[in-house]
Amino acid sequence: MADALAGRPAGVPRPRLTFSPSGWLLAAVMAFFVVNVVALVVSVLFNSFASSWFATPIPSGWTTRWYRFAATTFQLSDVLVVTAQVGAAVVAISLVVGAPAAYVLARRTFPFKRALLLLFLLPMLVPPITYGIPLATALYKFNLAGSLRGVILANLVPALPFVILVLTPFIEQIDENVERAARMCGASTWRVFSRVLAPLCIPGLLAAGLMVLVRVLAMFELTFLTAGPGDQTLVVALYYSVFAAGIRPAQAIDAMAVVYMLTTFVPLLIALRFVNPTQMVVRLKREAAA
């Protein structure tokens, strides 16, 4: 489809990058970055299986005992259950609440529409730690923080606007005549939604849900500020494992990091089947250009 948009006949291969001297410099910068990121991830992976690893290129021996150690010391199964609960709840609530709002923004023009759009954009422009501290304070005031409910509520703040911004352009490209036809045939609003729009929206809902899940799994600040001792998600437990009192072997912490990476990669890889990586970061270009 990208090829068709670029006006290239099917079957003609994409052009190769041609390198000028400045192009080589850019490629070198890019390669240096990618090599370091990959090496960083691999060194965490190696260390988690290392019986010991000092200043040598590879560890002196291999073992899986750090995973068992991490599972018992860091209560990994409890943490994984909490992470799954938080992820599922945030995805479900943000889709159920966000999809109707995205529909309204995609189909209707009404007074104060720009103000409503701004309301949904604001939480993406303010970093979580900045609004997280007043949010945690307010949630503590109503006895909501320090519990699973508080973690879920706090994580809705970045998730909901993200769902709305992903789904709005998706709904815009669904032909409105399909809805009109359904109404002509006597379908009520609810039936139009449940029988016509929802099935057409499934790819968009799936992509939005997966991207929100990836974000919730990696959302450190809000969970950190609102979680009590029993409802840490994996990323917060990872942070505490570095700082908790007592000496923990670095390999056990890296074992936990590997578990975290795996839980993040699974939804990410599924999501990448539906969306382009450039769409996974904030989609602000349309609004910003206006």
Partner 1 sequence: MLSRTPAGRWRLTERLAALGVDRVVLLALPAAAVIGLLFIYPFLYGLGLSFQPRQGGGILANYLGFFNDGYERSTISKTLRLALPAALLNVAVSVPIAHKLRQPVRGKRLLTTVLILPVTLGTVLVAQGLIRYFGPAGWFNQALVALGLVDAPLSLTNNYIGVFASLIITGFPLSMLLILGHASGIDPDVERAAATLGAGPTRRFWTVSFPLMLPGITIALVLAFVAAFAVFPSAVMVGNPSGSTRVISIAAYQAAFERFDYSMASTIAMIMAAVELAVIGVVLGARSRLYRGATSGGKG
**In the range 76-95, which residues lie near partner 1 by CB under 8 A?**
none
What does 161-176 look like in DSSP terms, one character per residue?
Answer: HHHHHHHHHHHHTS-H
Q: Compute φ and ψ for 58, nearest 5 degrees.
A: -130, 160
Tell me the window of 60-68, 158-166, 180-188, 194-202 that interacts with partner 1 (CB under 8 A). 158-166
Q: Which residue carries 């070198």 as its tokens?
A: 28
Number of residues that bind partner 1 (CB under 8 A): 102
3-class secondary-structure state, position 51: strand
Residue 162 as a binder of partner 1 (CB under 8 A): the answer is no
CB of 85 to partner 1, least distance (A): 19
Question: Is 190 a residue that touches partner 1 (CB under 8 A)?
Answer: no
Mark residue 195 as left, alpha or beta (left: phi above 0; alpha: psi -120 to 50; beta: remaining): alpha
Signed CA dihedral, 218, 288, 135, 207: sign only: negative
Residue selected from 71, 218, 266, 270 as contacting partner 1 according to rule CB under 8 A? 218
Rounded to 5 degrees, what angle do the CA atoms 66, 68, 70 make? Answer: 65
Stretch that binds partner 1, among 13-21, 60-68, 78-86, 194-202 (CB under 8 A): 13-21
Q: Does 173 bind partner 1 (CB under 8 A)?
A: no
**Listed ranges 66-74, 81-89, 114-122, 195-203: which one lies at the site for partner 1 (CB under 8 A):** 114-122
Residue window 49-78: x/- pattern of binding to partner 1, with contact defined by CB under 8 A: ----xxx-x---------------------
Q: Say whether residue 274 binds partner 1 (CB under 8 A).
A: no
Segment near partner 1 (CB under 8 A); pick from 63-71, 81-89, 149-157, 195-203: 149-157
| Interface residue with partner 1, options 119, 181, 198, 244 (CB under 8 A) | 119
Per-residue tokens: 221: 């600040």
Sign of CA dihedral 160, 219, 266, 274: positive
For partner 1, which residue of 79, 154, 171, 210 counts as binding (CB under 8 A)?
154
* Contact (Cβ atoms closer than 8 angstroms) between residue 226 and residue 136: yes
Whichever of 139 and 166 has its CB closer to partner 1, that residue is 139
Cβ contacts of 251 within 8 Å, gap of 6 or more: 47, 48, 49, 50, 53, 66
Instruction: Count CA atoms within 13 Å of residue 69 on its CB side.
Output: 16
What are the structure tokens assigned to 200, written together?
């057409």
| Identified binder of partner 1 from the candidate list 86, 151, 165, 235, rule CB under 8 A | 235
Q: How many CB atoms lie within 10 A of CB 146?
A: 17
Is position 227 an interface residue for partner 1 (rule: CB under 8 A)?
Answer: no
Listed ranges 39-47, 61-69, 78-86, 198-206: which one lies at the site for partner 1 (CB under 8 A): 39-47
